[in-house]
């Protein structure tokens, strides 16, 4: 058996078309262009790539994109001042501060300074709390993208055993929460395994749906999954490859070639979760505008 490919790129493109139509409607009916501010501190190469992709996605969806590239030595006070300015700016409906921040800057202080109504990353503790108790709020983009990929490729979630590999604040932990919520799009039995888990393979082999978000190249091997599993690979790891033009290539957290022989469906890297994350960011920015206007 070879798995069905869960094509994140195609799902993302379909959603971006819907989002662009909504942006055009907000403009024609309400005279508002959705505005997204992206703040990057320093020169982390991966972050630079993400920020560039966000700018491109904004342009394609006809959003207003406001990019702030600050030097690595920017002070916490200066960054907080910029966040305050963006909070007060009517043209801005979403604010994203790219993580990780330089070590000198207190990340939690910066996230706390973002107006929860513009927190399109869903990282502000107020929004994390709302998500936790199942209230409507901005859902963090990568986990929300994973859930959309499952739903839009027709994967039944209710009653299934979902095993999540990794417990980060950005992916693993919010996914545990979202998929265990009491609603028709979730209702899963969720287990999270991590670096301190004993007998990891015993647990991952029970997964009906396995989500890999550990940040370790090819750590999920074929012996760790059962036949017919659905696999979503959140990992984006750079590995050296002298034959590649850039000197490296991207691999996921899953040994794709081996696992696809056992899986019923699997998402690739690249072309899986990556394009979905930015799509959900655009989606949250549209939601922010609609909430501000008090429309559906």
Q: Tell me how far apart the alpha carbons of residues 219 and 238 are, in angstroms, rounded to a whole number.
A: 14
120 binds ligand GUN (CB under 6 A): no
Measure Cα distances from 288 to 19, 117, 187, 291 in Å.
13, 7, 27, 5
Name the residue whose CB lies closest to ligand GUN: 99
User: Among residues 3 and 19, whose Cβ is nearest to ligand GUN?
Assistant: 19
Contact between 119 and ligand GUN (CB under 6 A)?
no
* DSSP-derived 3-state class of residue 41: strand
Shortest Å distance, C-beta 160 to ligand GUN: 25
| Nearby residues of 255 by Cβ (< 8 Å), 6 or more positions away | 218, 220, 221, 222
**Separation of alpha carbons 281 and 94, rounded Å:** 9
Q: Which of residues 229 and 280 has its CB atom nearest to ligand GUN in the complex?
A: 280
Map residues 66-105 to x or -, x wherever contact with ligand GUN holds by CB under 6 A: ------------------------------xxxx------
| By the rule CB under 6 A, 128 interacts with ligand GUN | no
Torsion, Cα 107 47 75 114, to 10 degrees, reads -50
Count of residues in contact with ligand GUN, rule CB under 6 A: 9
Residue 278 binds ligand GUN (CB under 6 A):
no
Active site residue 181: no
Q: Provide, rounded to whole angstroms, the least separation between the CB of residue 44 and ligand GUN.
A: 9
Alpha carbons 74 and 71: distance in angstroms, whole number: 6
User: Is 98 among the catalytic positions?
Assistant: yes
Minimum CB distance to ligand GUN, residue 228 (Å): 31
Backbone dihedral angles phi then psi of residue 152, each to the nearest 5 degrees: -75, -15
As measured in angstroms, the least distance from the Cβ of 48 to ligand GUN is: 12
Q: Which is nearer to ligand GUN, 37 or 219 (CB)?
A: 37
Q: Under the criterion CB under 6 A, does residue 121 sit at the interface with ligand GUN?
A: yes
Pairing of strands 237-240, 248-251: antiparallel
Q: Could you tell me the smallest distance in angstroms from the CB atom of residue 282 to ligand GUN?
A: 13
Distance of alpha carbon 254 from alpha carbon 273, whole angstroms? 13
Minimum CB separation of residue 289 from ligand GUN in Å reads: 19
Distance (Å, rounded) from C-alpha 200 to C-alpha 192?
10
Question: Which of 54, 218, 260, 262 is the catalytic position?
Answer: 54
Q: Is the peptide bond before 197 cis (omega within 30 degrees of 0)?
A: no
148 binds ligand GUN (CB under 6 A): no
User: Under 8 Å CB-to-CB from 252, ≥6 apart: which residues?
Assistant: 212, 217, 218, 233, 234, 235, 236, 237, 268, 269, 272
Q: Of residues 95, 101, 170, 263, which one binds ligand GUN by CB under 6 A? A: 170
Nearer to ligand GUN, 66 or 121 (CB): 121
User: Which residues contact ligand GUN by CB under 6 A?
Assistant: 96-99, 121, 141-142, 170, 277
Instruction: Provide the annotated active-site residues.
Output: 54, 98, 121
């Amino acid at each position: 058996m070879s798995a069905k490919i869960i094509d994140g790129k195609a799902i993302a493109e379909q959603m971006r078309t819907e989002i662009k139509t909504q942006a055009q409607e907000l403009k024609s009916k309400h005279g508002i262009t959705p505005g997204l501010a992206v703040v990057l501190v320093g020169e982390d190469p991966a972050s630079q790539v993400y920020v560039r992709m966000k700018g491109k996605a904004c342009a394609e969806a006809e959003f207003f994109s406001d990019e702030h590239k600050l030097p690595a030595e920017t002070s916490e006070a200066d960054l907080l001042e910029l966040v305050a300015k963006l909070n007060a700016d009517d043209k801005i409906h979403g604010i994203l501060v790219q993580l990780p921040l330089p070590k000198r800057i207190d990340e939690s202080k910066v996230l706390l300074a973002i107006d929860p109504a513009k927190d399109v990353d869903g990282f502000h503790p107020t929004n994390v709390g709302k998500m936790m108790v199942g209230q409507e709020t901005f859902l963090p983009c990568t986990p929300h993208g994973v859930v959309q990929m499952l739903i839009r490729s027709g994967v039944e979630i209710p009653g299934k055993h979902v095993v999540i590999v990794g417990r980060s604040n950005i992916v693993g932990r919010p996914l545990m929460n979202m998929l265990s919520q009491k609603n028709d799009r979730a209702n899963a039995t969720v287990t999270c395994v991590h670096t301190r888990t004993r007998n990891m393979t015993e647990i991952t082999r029970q997964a009906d749906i396995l989500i890999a978000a550990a940040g370790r190249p090819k750590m999920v091997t074929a012996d760790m999954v059962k036949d017919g599993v659905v696999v979503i690979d959140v990992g984006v790891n750079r590995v050296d490859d002298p034959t590649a033009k850039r000197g490296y290539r991207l691999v996921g957290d899953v040994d794709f070639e081996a696992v696809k022989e056992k899986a019923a469906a699997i998402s690739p890297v690249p072309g899986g979760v990556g394009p979905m994350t930015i799509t959900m960011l655009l989606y949250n920015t549209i939601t922010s505008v609609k909430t501000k206007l008090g429309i559906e």
